[in-house]
Structure 1
Amino acid sequence: MTSKHRPTPSGWAIIVLSVCALALGACGRKGPLDLPPTANAVPAAPGDTEVERQAQPSVFNPTYGSDAGPSAPKGAKKSFILDPLLGN
């Protein structure tokens, strides 16, 4: 039994664009952008040390507040239906 349904050219275009978008979305590496080879490195501001930068709250600073204790006490444990299976 053969099927006479084949994707139209617009269907193929959607498939190819989807595959390209997925392939290009996985490219790259995590971290800041690289400077061009001809760019000069911007010197740090005087007195701006790594410790001072970590002490400043920022969306881009994942270490901010990591040394602080919890802000609220731990609550009572609530039972869950899967606790016997999970061993909790």
Structure 2
Amino acid sequence: MGIENPPAPRLAGFSLGPSLRLFLGTFGLLLHLVLMENDADRYLRQAKACLDEAQKATRVADKEAWLNLSEEWMVMAEKAQRESSYEH
């Protein structure tokens, strides 16, 4: 006896297959994570992305620009962390 998949939910006469159910479940999880993420976390993620780009940059001017952007995101993250600690 094999494992049976639960019946696909029906929506207005249409059957949702396993791929669509997986997509909708994943999308829902990502949406939840984005909505739960606070400003400071988003800013820190942006700062990290800028640092990653700086490491990949081959021109000095590009590397400096990415590092400056990362620093600006860090300043914003620190400010958001301070503001959120005052709210709680």
Normalising by structure 2, we get a TM-score of: 0.31
Normalising by structure 1, we get a TM-score of: 0.31
Higher relative contact order (CA 8 A, sep 6+): 2
Say which structure is richer in helix: 2
